[in-house]
């Protein structure tokens, strides 16, 4: 690959694209006396901070902090940022965790100084704009989901689940009922049983049918007066709509249980069906999934929780309330809810996410939201149609927003799902979710979302078709992927070991 003329820069450790391949740590770049600040000399006499401290507080065993100039630090982190996969750089096909593009108008709105610079301890009278936005977002989420009330407080889907299950526990306790069990289908995300267990419930797993969906008979067998709730994700993590959802909710309600809806896959239903109308009593929203706010390394999440009126007395406090006419105009924060499960987050929650989600909902409007769901479902089915002749599809039906493939057909070649995920990196893609849901052996779960163009979907499908072909013709090449990345394949069985840098001066591809 390398040209003779490149040998010079390569020998000195520079890449041909002008980026250093090796990025030393800030500690390694440090030079004594190099600083990134300029402060006037102290005019406080005897201002040696060490002298002002009790000697027993001083440690001598800590390494010195790196000493660098401002531009050294900026370039270090900017270079590292170019090594990242990001949804702004390409398709990010993680199934179940909707990783969708974050429209820049949301960022504009979140940076408006009135929101971005608001202090969490500012008095309510000075926070009216923010409270109104929160109140309106709650109303919008309630309308979209068919719930009666919403609290924006939880900071993630998992915390929304925790809040929901705490409310279910409080509801039964208030009625003098002691229930010990929560039912969770075997296709559920791990946070579901975790949230139930954190609330001291025993978790009973309900098997999905051979067709991948939950059947009323399976719920009926497990349902009794000791069951507090069923937690259900619809569409499920297999990307399948649960067709028996209404009958299943009726069964649970008939024995005094409540139904928790995991709303992480709401992107497939937006504007088409409402969990509240299907019988769900309490659910969470993932603003960082369905409502396009940043995700993971992009920022804090937000997992509002929505409830039917029977659970409203248990909502987290404070509750945002629009003032009644006699009280004048505006919004208040109410704390006087004796049955509330209490506070789950400092101050208001992750406010920047509320502004982004509100901007997203308002910029799309009801028709735009519905179109999101339609396009997300169409895109997933398009990918499946392009891939099913070359890939094993464990449950081959029309899907909702995501589809699940497996490595079963690659077995003779010895290539596994993990190898395919690594090889996709060579094609420039962040790998999809692998080995989940757990009920599909060697699962590859793909969610393209609504934002990808036809050409973008075709490019991704072409990559997966090429990899299936490579696995048959040259399995060793796939098994040792990635081959085009900065770092060679990591030995993931020994994660603590330092990775080996791939770059070598005269390597040929
Ligand atoms: C993402 C996800 C969760 C958890 O949400 P977080 O915001 O990551 O805590 C729960 N259930 C399902 C199905 C999910 O995809």
Does the CB atom of residue 301 touch ligand 1 within 6 A? yes
Q: Is the pLDDT of residue 18 over 70?
A: no
d(CA 145, CA 13): 56
Q: State the total domains in the chain.
A: 2
Question: Which CATH number covers residue 324?
Answer: 3.40.640.10
Contacts from 205-209 at CB under 8 Å and sequence distance 24+? 206/230, 208/236, 208/238, 208/439
Dihedral sign (CA 395, 399, 403, 409): positive
In a domain, 90, yes or no: no
* CATH classification at residue 439: 3.90.1150.10
Q: Is the CB of 97 under 6 A from ligand 1?
A: yes
Centroid of ligand 1 to alpha carbon of 189 (angstroms)? 7
What band does 488 get if pLDDT is binned at 50, 70 and 90? confident
**Same domain as 379, residue 271:** no
Q: Give me ligand 1 centre to Cα 160, in Å.
A: 9
- Interval 392-430: pLDDT, tens: 999 999 999 999 999 999 999 999 999 999 999 999 999
Looking at every residue in the chain, the average pLDDT score rounds to: 90
Which among 361, 394, 416 is the end of a domain?
361
Beta pairing class for 227-233 and 403-406: unpaired
Residue range 450-483, pLDDT digits in tens: 999 999 999 999 999 999 999 999 999 999 999 9
Is the pLDDT reported for residue 509 higher than 60?
Answer: no
Beta strand segments in 339-452, E: 403-406, 433-434, 443-446
CB-CB contact of 79 with 486 (8 Å)? no
What is the mean pLDDT of the segment spanning 351-365? Answer: 97
What is the SS3 string spanning 79-129? HHHHCCCCCCCCCCCECCCCCCCCCHHHHHHHCCHHHHCCCCCCCHHHCHH
Q: Is 235 in the pocket of ligand 1 (CB under 6 A)?
A: no
Residue-wise pLDDT tens digits, 25-65: 898 999 999 998 888 887 777 667 777 788 888 888 887 88
Question: What tokens appear for 417 in the block?
Answer: 């799902």
pLDDT for position 16: 46
- Residue 151 CA to residue 141 CA, distance in Å, equals 10
Give 197 or 79, the one with higher predicted confidence.
Answer: 197
Which residues neighbour 312 within 8 Å (Cβ) at sequence distance 6 or greater? 148, 149
The answer on pLDDT for 6 being more than 70 is: no
Whole-number CA gyration radius for the chain: 27
Of all residues in the chain, the percent with pLDDT exceeding 70 is 91
Region 252-263 average pLDDT: 98
Q: Point out which residues pair with 261 in neighbouring strands.
A: 232, 283
- Same domain, yes or no: 349 and 428: no
Average pLDDT over residues 137-144: 98
Q: Are 203 and 295 in contact (CB under 8 A)?
A: no
In a domain, 319, yes or no: yes
Contacts by 119-127 with C-beta closer than 8 Å and gap 24+? 120/346, 120/347, 120/348, 120/351, 121/347, 124/331, 124/332, 124/333
What is the predicted pLDDT for the residue at 14?
53
Ligand 1 and 94: CB distance under 6 A: no
436 C-alpha to ligand 1 centroid (Å): 13
Mean pLDDT value across residues 345-374? 96
Q: Do 355 and 370 fall within a single domain? A: no
Residue with the nearest Cα to atom 3 of ligand 1? 157
In a domain, 232, yes or no: yes
Chain centroid to CA 332: 31
Q: What is the pLDDT of residue 13?
A: 57
In a domain, 231, yes or no: yes
155 and 142 both lie in a single domain: yes
Higher per-residue pLDDT: 304 or 497: 304
Q: What is residue 489's predicted lDDT score, i.e. its pLDDT?
A: 86
Rounded distance between C-alpha atoms, residue 142 and residue 151, angstroms: 10
**Partners of residue 444 on adjacent β-strands:** 405, 434
The mean per-residue pLDDT over the stretch 170-199 comes to: 97
- The atom number, within ligand 1, closest to the CA of 286 reads 7
Range of the domain at 372: 365-490
Same domain for 152 and 233? Answer: yes
Q: Which atom of ligand 1 is nearest to the CA of 156?
A: 7
Do 398 and 378 touch, CB atoms closer than 8 A?
no
pLDDT in tens, 295-344: 866 668 999 999 999 999 999 999 999 999 899 999 999 999 999 999 99
In a domain, 177, yes or no: yes
Per DSSP, what are the bridge partners of residue 283? 261, 306
Average pLDDT over residues 107-125: 95
Q: Is residue 416 part of a domain?
A: yes
Are residues 239 and 117 part of one domain? yes
Cis amide prior to 142 (ω within 30 degrees):
no
Residues 196 and 175 in one domain: yes
More confident site: 253 or 486: 253
Per-residue pLDDT band at 9 (split at 50, 70, 90): low
User: What is the pLDDT at residue 63?
Assistant: 76
Q: How far is the CA of 277 from the centre of ligand 1 (A)?
A: 22
Last residue of a domain, one of 343, 361, 379: 361
Q: Are 290 and 274 members of one domain?
A: yes
Measured from the Cα of 191, ligand 1's closest atom is: 10
Please give the order of strands across the beta sheet that includes 181-185. 149-151, 305-307, 282-284, 258-262, 227-233, 181-185, 202-206
Q: Are residues 215 and 306 in the same domain?
A: yes
Which of 97, 64, 109 has its CA nearest to residue 360? 109
The residue out of 337, 361, 385 marking a domain boundary is 361
Do 408 and 442 form a contact (C-beta atoms < 8 A)?
A: yes
How far is CA 167 from each of CA 170, 283, 447, 467, rounded to the nearest angstrom? Answer: 5, 11, 31, 47
Question: Residue 301 CA: which ligand 1 atom is closest?
Answer: 7
371, 481: one domain? yes
Answer yes or no: do 190 and 335 share one domain.
Answer: yes
Residue 163 in any domain: the answer is yes
78-92, 264-278, 299-313: least confidently modelled range: 78-92
In a domain, residue 201? The reply is: yes
Say whether both 374 and 352 belong to one domain: no
pLDDT of residue 55: 83
């Amino acid at each position: 690959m390398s040209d003779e003329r490149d040998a010079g820069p390569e020998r000195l450790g520079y890449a041909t694209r002008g980026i250093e391949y090796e990025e030393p740590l800030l500690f390694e770049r440090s030079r004594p006396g190099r600083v990134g600040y300029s402060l006037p000399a102290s005019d406080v006499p005897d201002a040696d901070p060490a002298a002002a401290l009790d000697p027993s507080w001083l440690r001598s065993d800590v390494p010195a902090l790196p000493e660098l100039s401002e531009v050294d630090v900026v370039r270090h982190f900017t270079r590292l940022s170019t090594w990242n996969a990001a949804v702004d750089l390409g398709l990010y096909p993680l199934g179940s965790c909707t990783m969708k593009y974050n429209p820049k108008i949301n960022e504009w709105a979140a940076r408006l100084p009135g929101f971005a610079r608001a202090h969490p301890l500012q008095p309510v009278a000075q926070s009216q704009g923010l409270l109104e936005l929160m109140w309106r977002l709650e109303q919008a989420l309630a309308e979209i989901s068919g719930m009666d009330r919403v609290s924006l407080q939880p900071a993630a889907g998992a915390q929304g689940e925790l809040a929901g299950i705490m409310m279910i526990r409080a509801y039964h306790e208030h009625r003098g009922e002691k229930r010990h069990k929560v039912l969770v289908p075997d296709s559920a995300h791990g946070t579901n049983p975790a949230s139930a267990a954190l609330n001291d419930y025993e978790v009973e797993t309900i098997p999905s049918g051979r067709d991948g969906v939950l059947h009323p008979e399976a719920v009926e067998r497990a349902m009794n007066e000791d069951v507090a709730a069923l937690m259900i994700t619809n569409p499920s993590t297999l990307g399948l709509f649960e067709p028996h959802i209404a009958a299943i909710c009726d069964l649970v309600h008939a024995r005094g249980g409540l139904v928790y809806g995991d709303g992480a896959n709401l992107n497939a239903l937006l504007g088409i069906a409402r969990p509240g109308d299907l019988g769900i009593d309490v659910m969470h929203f993932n603003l960082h999934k369905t409502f396009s706010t940043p995700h993971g390394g992009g920022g804090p999440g937000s997992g509002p929780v929505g409830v039917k009126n029977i659970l409203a007395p248990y909502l987290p406090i404070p509750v945002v309330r629009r003032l009644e006419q006699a009280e004048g105009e505006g919004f208040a924060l109410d704390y006087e809810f004796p049955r509330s499960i209490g506070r789950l987050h400092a101050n208001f929650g992750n406010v920047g996410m509320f502004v982004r989600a509100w901007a997203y909902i308002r910029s799309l409007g009801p028709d735009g939201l519905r179109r999101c769901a339609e396009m997300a479902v169409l895109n997933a089915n398009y990918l499946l149609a392009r891939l099913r002749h070359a890939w094993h599809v464990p449950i081959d039906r029309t899907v909702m927003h995501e589809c699940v493939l497996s490595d079963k057909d690659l077995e003779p070649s010895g290539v596994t799902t993990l190898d395919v995920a690594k090889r996709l990196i060579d094609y420039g893609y962040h790998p999809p979710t692998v080995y989940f849901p757990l009920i599909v052996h060697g699962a590859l779960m793909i969610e393209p979302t609504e934002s990808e163009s036809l050409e973008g979907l075709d490019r991704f499908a072409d990559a997966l078709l090429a990899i299936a072909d490579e696995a048959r013709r040259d399995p060793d090449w796939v098994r040792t992927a990635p081959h085009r990345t900065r770092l060679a394949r990591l030995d993931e069985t020994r994660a603590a070991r330092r990775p080996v840098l791939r770059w070598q001066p005269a390597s040929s591809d």
